[in-house]
Amino acid sequence: MGAMVQTKLCVVTHTFLPHVGGIERVVYEQCKRLMQKQFEPMVLTHRNYTERNYVFDGIKVQCYDSMNIGFRLGIPYAIPHVSSLKTFLETVKSNDLIHVHGHPYLSSFLAAKIAKRYSKPLVLTQHNTFIEYNNIWDTAEKLNDLAIGKQVLKEADKIIVVSDATRNYVLSLGADPEKIEVLHNGVDLNRFKPLTGVKDEMRKKLGISKDASVVLTVRRLVYKNGIDTLLESAEIAVKKDPTIVFVVVGKGPDFEEVKEKIVQLGIQRNFRLTGFVSDVDLPLYYNVADLFALPSKSGEGLPLVALEAMACGLPVIATNVGGISEVMNEKYGKLVPPNSPDSLAEAILEFSSKNLSVLEKDLRAMMEQRCSWDKNVEKLSQIYEELI
């Protein structure tokens, strides 16, 4: 038998590593595993302080030039330059299968139109649901959904959604239900796991006492991620139980504002901002905590940080937005309404008084069964094979 024929796969994503984010992480985890099957993936993305072509951990990356607006506002949107059209044409033509991430992006739109013109099978993954900014961006987003998003959904041969909530969102934009497949995100179970001996060491490093209840949040510090709700609920919780300490990992445009607010509320002793933490150190921070809080307002498809926390054996208290309810189990966490500091504080107090170490093993076992990237990519490659 001859060697297996490699299927050339072009993955179009708005941003890619080293730029850090959820979609970037999903694309990375999938490409790494697809390389071990009969696929030869490459990533097409916009140029953001990188070389025009580079290789990230074995994954080939090709960049096009674009005008980058909104990045400083935490609303990244790249508009490809006219000159980038050639890059799109050449890349799409030289691959067998095109997989675009995110329906609202112009890069997805361009790739979709070219893919159809050259009869290349097209897969779209839609991650988030509608993100409510509660301002002018909502209108821009709705118009963009209609102008760009609907077209991309129409052109796709297969639409992958990360949750039922996301499925409902694309259906509301007129997606064909026959084309939709739900594929939950995975989690790197080797990286994110309960680590022995880390807790005491990390607490010493962060100056947190051994008997404190530590509530962790890993988020970009932007409005839609609900950091204001977290601050208000921290103020309530700490008054009732001064042993609770909140640790927030992440940076973002609202970092300074959050810092000031902590001082205003007088909760400096119980609320720590770590700023940026590298991917290598992230598992250590999950292991310093007893509990994970996710205060999002909207727009979550299926947040990876919640899966990472559960893989480390942490119960999750989350706002009930998007697809989080589909992977949560009432035993190991609680869902509360968004924008409600009281409910969030109450749930945190309730869980911090439980003995959580007994939950850790069961929660970890559940994640091992349900949420590995290997299972995710197994299903993804089946979807690809049906289209080739």
The tens digit of pLDDT for each residue in 49-76 reads 889 999 999 999 999 988 876 655 555 6
pLDDT band at 1 (very low <50, low <70, confident <90, very high): very low
**Which residues, 6+ apart, have CB-to-CB distance to 1 below 8 Å?**
none
Q: Of the segments 3-7, 65-69, 130-134, 204-208, which one has the largest average pLDDT value?
A: 204-208
Please give the pLDDT value at position 92. Answer: 96
Please give the pLDDT value at position 72. Answer: 57
pLDDT tens-digit readout, 273-331: 999 999 899 999 999 999 999 999 887 778 899 999 999 999 999 999 888 898 888 88
Rounded to an integer, what distance in angstroms lies between the CA atom of residue 290 and that of residue 309?
Answer: 10
Whether residue 5 is predicted with pLDDT greater than 90 in this model: the reply is no
Please give the pLDDT value at position 2. Answer: 47
Rounded to an integer, what distance in angstroms lies between the CA atom of residue 233 and that of residue 270?
Answer: 12
The gap from C-alpha 83 to its chain's centroid, in whole angstroms, comes to 30
- Higher-confidence position of 80 and 193: 193
Encoded tokens for 264: 């205003």
Fold of the 7-186+372-387 domain: Rossmann fold (3.40.50)
**228-231: which pairs have CB atoms within 8 A and are 24 or more residues apart?**
228/261, 229/295, 229/297, 229/319, 229/338, 229/339, 229/340, 229/341, 229/344, 230/293, 230/295, 230/344, 231/258, 231/261, 231/262, 231/265, 231/267, 231/271
pLDDT band at 223 (very low <50, low <70, confident <90, very high): low
Please give the pLDDT value at position 74. Answer: 57
Rounded average pLDDT over 344-365: 89
**Average pLDDT over all residues of the chain:** 90
Rounded average pLDDT over 360-369: 91
pLDDT tens-digit readout, 247-276: 999 998 899 999 999 999 999 999 999 999
User: Where, residue-wise, is CATH 3.40.50.2000 in the chain?
Assistant: 7-186+372-387, 198-370
Rounded average pLDDT over 105-126: 95
pLDDT tens-digit readout, 147-176: 788 999 999 999 999 999 999 999 999 999
Q: Does domain 198-370 have CATH number 3.40.50.2000?
A: yes
Lay out the sheet containing 7-12: strands in order across: 53-56, 59-64, 39-46, 7-12, 97-101, 122-126, 158-161, 180-182
- Higher-confidence position of 381 and 15: 381
Place of tokens 């990876």: 304
Rounded to an integer, what distance in angstroms lies between the CA atom of residue 230 and that of residue 365?
Answer: 29
Query: What is the signed CA dihedral for 217, 220, 224, 228, rounded to 10 degrees?
Result: 50
Whether residue 96 is predicted with pLDDT greater than 70 in this model: the reply is yes
Rounded to an integer, what distance in angstroms lies between the CA atom of residue 356 and that of residue 239?
Answer: 22
pLDDT tens-digit readout, 12-41: 998 899 887 888 999 999 999 999 999 999
pLDDT tens-digit readout, 319-349: 998 888 988 888 899 999 999 999 999 999 9
